Structure 1
């Protein structure tokens, strides 16, 4: 969905009807671009999410309780907690229906009246807290001096400069026809977005479709009066409040939605309100900032490990290089009396190649240096392959941590990824403050499923993979894992009994679903008896080798198989 001015008008009216008047009970900043206000109004608790800038710039009520972000609080958050926390919110409105600017009127018992002004203009958006006389108390993004508008603190707020565009509520036909004639060769929807204020591309395509029956008509082919009438009809709910939202999606999900009946796209269905659709369209991740910081740290660790791996590969000597150099040194000592003055190269009788003579060195000195270099190459031939194996294990482990991060469902699982990352020492020191307001509860145990007479265990992360494989799995159990990809260890607690094909296929699909192959059509899954699975020396958590096993091709499920949960001590059921 596009947060154009028409969508904001609809969302503002729905938010005001649901949550206002109300009182701000809590303010959190889940990420540096977003603000969430907990409002208590009309006998219920609501969460108003405002994203000040970026591609998701907008405002709407969300049903998901917010979580605070990572790192120290930003100055704007501290300012809001001083002036707006506990304040009454009396009105939410757009000063100009054509502009993407929303105001929330606040009244604080100690600090008086303020206004939270939201310029929701995409990448240039910003949030401002205005005090008496519309003076700026602070902003989400610092505006440097020297820009078109002076938006520094303690300065009066300057509105967005007016644009030479026609209002969609009036839309004079002569001006619209003149704009269509000037841009006759351009797509009609593009001409509308450049001429009519507050109009996004999707809304413009809808208007063109309603006028001509097609959404890709050129501007010169459109009829001006019909186009102006379609624009006014689409914007009429701004004045009447009678909105007719619609959505497009399947299986309970929403791929797009709008505050009007969508006709230029197939499969649209009417909806009672627009606000609930946004949580289904793009449900906000309550741990987005935590996940983003960990993803950045893992990415930097992967980059460093990749550089070290390339450097180690360059340091790896060629096979036989040390022996060849030693043989050349021996021939140099044996033939030193045949070397003439000014000679630059010594031919050797065997196939070890000629020896380049170093000026200023005697044959004995050069031979000693060659023997020393040969010993160094021998040590490198032993140490560098071992170092490469260690770096490859680190690379694979970081890939596993990245998968654990993407599949983590709650804060304890995210904290488990953080602890595993910091224990490796690969990501450096964390920049997040050490003191946290709350200690998250311990992470849940492995997933536990029941299929027929068998219990199937699935690890949630690298640490639990070791637990599933070696602590809970017996030598005669079946072990499964996605081949050549990071993922969860899956153990069928068979105890040596024959496992039906249906159970084995289902467990293989579980292994594919909880791996880096999620989203693919098919996957290769390794199946082995647990007794053939070994943990190498100095391996990271979850890293194993298989002595004997078979690969099985399965279809990767779009969702986790709906199997019967099987509770147990210390083990939780699937989400």
Structure 2
């Protein structure tokens, strides 16, 4: 088996989140699923509002969801051991209760294929606009596709997989190195695996391809393919972490100096990284929102500072304006009107050509100059008071902007946000409506928020459709029975991500999935919920949803009461 490698380059650090999308990872996942799908039955196929396509499969080992996340942040295939989400659009109805004959992955292409009776279900796990799920017959004619945004897909057309975008090793430029050939050709060895192969085979990765003979090239290709097949067929899945906190899911080949821990399966390792990628995505969203808020206030402050600086500069003219007013008062022509300017002599004989407003008398112009001088002096006094405060606030925002770039968790971002904008982060608790005692559970959340949880279907229905306001946050464990959760909000501003994640963990505990390691929890605002017609208590339809992956949290260790 391949061993450790000496180092991982900076190029790989930018692609660590893409390792779960790498072809070798998907191939290992398919190999792991193949024995589990023997005698498996497809219950249904569906699509969610979050651009996820799912296949609900019942196997002798239990139920699973084969999920293709077509949009960010995941953009790959993963397995979820839970029931399908409540809000879903059922697709490919002809596959219901069909037996899965086989699952395969195309060579050097992230295209999965499930043979189901007379049909073939093709999962195109290519990130971006090409990601799709296609149902076709054995003659390759398209019956329906899941990507509603693909205008090139037509029912009845013969669909063929897109041509491989990577060259074969023998077609690569001779200026490429051996490492380039291993990574960027159809050999598809990711950088950790390519470096591990070079080390185990005592090959120099910087050797130019053009300097090798045909026999040496064929030897390298055959050895690399055997190395790759061994990784896929006998993986040792691990989560590796560098000294800088960078994480990767690997089938093996942990870089030297990295800490790592084994995971039970490829499926579990991918699911671990899916959760980590979501957390990173949530961090980036929180960071972007706070950065936008900082930039907005900083822009207003800089404009205000410029305006106050201009006021200070204009105040330097106040003595001259007052002097002109005094000269105009003692002028013998002070009652004349219609003059554009007038010459006045100071007590020391200095002559001044004072500009006038022809619509006013000379005395009226004197009053105008006195008013302008008073205005400039008042503005200067205000500027001297406010300018240091505004500059201090602007410096604090610039420092916070630099600190924000170094934040590693959403908790750090939220802590920084509370320091900068304390008033906006402390909600005024909305008075709870008077209800019969014991109808709801009440759990305290961070930053002064509370979570209301229903106890049964009737209380869920009452909480969601009678108590909750349109902008309140609603939560429910995805795809399983459970309690409805409501976070009452004093305004239209959503709570921080950590508050939503804590509430989701409590809601996950009050669901049928409380024994799972990771539970997907749907959340949205109450205004995006509808009551289905002729439905029972507790049933809802979601017009829009977001999903968080959390570990169920027993609220008994926190503040919980009846209300």
TM-score normalised by structure 2 residue count = 0.52
Match status 1:11 vs 2:26: no
Aligned counterpart, 1:330: 322
Aligned-partner SS, 1:17: coil
Match status 1:118 vs 2:123: yes
Match status 1:100 vs 2:110: yes
- In structure 2, relative to structure 1, the CA distance for the partners of 1:78 and 1:61 (3 Å cut) is closer
Q: Once structures 1 and 2 are overlaid, which stretch shifts more, 265-274 or 304-313?
A: 265-274
CA separation in 1, counterparts of 2:26 and 2:55? Answer: 17
Aligned-partner SS, 2:275: coil
Match status 1:51 vs 2:46: no
- In structure 2, relative to structure 1, the CA distance for the partners of 1:405 and 1:435 (3 Å cut) is same
Cα offsets for 1:165-202 (capped at 9, x unmatched):
677xxxxxxxx5x547x41x322121344543545444
Determine if contact 1:61/1:275 at 8 Å carries over to the other structure: yes
Aligned counterpart, 1:306: 298
Aligned-partner SS, 2:299: helix
- In structure 2, relative to structure 1, the CA distance for the partners of 1:358 and 1:128 (3 Å cut) is farther
Q: Which has the higher contact order (CA 8 A, sep 6+)?
A: 2
CA separation in 2, counterparts of 1:393 and 1:155? Answer: 64
Match status 1:142 vs 2:146: no
| RMSD of aligned Cα (Å) | 5.9
- In structure 2, relative to structure 1, the CA distance for the partners of 1:286 and 1:433 (3 Å cut) is farther
Aligned counterpart, 2:218: 225
Cα offsets for 1:116-164 (capped at 9, x unmatched):
53322344541234356642634447235xxxxx33x536363334348
* Cα distance, 1:248 vs structure 2: 4.0
* Cα distance, 1:13 vs structure 2: 1.9
- In structure 2, relative to structure 1, the CA distance for the partners of 1:86 and 1:11 (3 Å cut) is same
Determine if contact 1:209/1:263 at 8 Å carries over to the other structure: no
User: What are the ranges of 5 or more consecutive residues in structure 1 without an aligned counterpart?
Assistant: 108-112, 145-149, 168-175, 411-416, 425-431, 444-459, 465-565
Aligned-partner SS, 2:227: helix
Aligned residues between the structures: 405
Aligned-partner SS, 1:283: helix
Aligned counterpart, 2:159: 158
Match status 1:278 vs 2:270: yes
* Cα distance, 1:46 vs structure 2: 3.6
Determine if contact 2:176/2:208 at 8 Å carries over to the other structure: yes
**Following superposition of structure 1 onto structure 2, how do residues 480-519 of structure 1 map, counting pairs within 5 Å?**
none
* Cα distance, 1:332 vs structure 2: 0.9
**Following superposition of structure 1 onto structure 2, how do residues 200-349 of structure 1 map, counting pairs within 5 Å?**
200-220=190-210, 222=212, 223-237=216-230, 241-243=233-235, 245=237, 248-249=240-241, 255-259=247-251, 261-262=252-253, 273-281=265-273, 283-284=275-276, 297-317=289-309, 324-336=316-328, 337=331
Aligned counterpart, 2:180: 190
* Cα distance, 1:11 vs structure 2: 0.8
Determine if contact 1:11/1:59 at 8 Å carries over to the other structure: no
Aligned counterpart, 2:78: 60
* Cα distance, 1:284 vs structure 2: 3.8
Match status 1:406 vs 2:410: yes
**Following superposition of structure 1 onto structure 2, how do residues 524-535 of structure 1 map, counting pairs within 5 Å?**
none
Aligned counterpart, 1:127: 132
Aligned counterpart, 2:444: none
Cα offsets for 1:197-254 (capped at 9, x unmatched):
545444444444444444343324552232022123124459x944455664489x99
TM-score normalised by structure 1 residue count = 0.51
- In structure 2, relative to structure 1, the CA distance for the partners of 1:321 and 1:99 (3 Å cut) is closer
CA separation in 2, counterparts of 1:207 and 1:157? Answer: 40
- In structure 2, relative to structure 1, the CA distance for the partners of 1:290 and 1:212 (3 Å cut) is closer
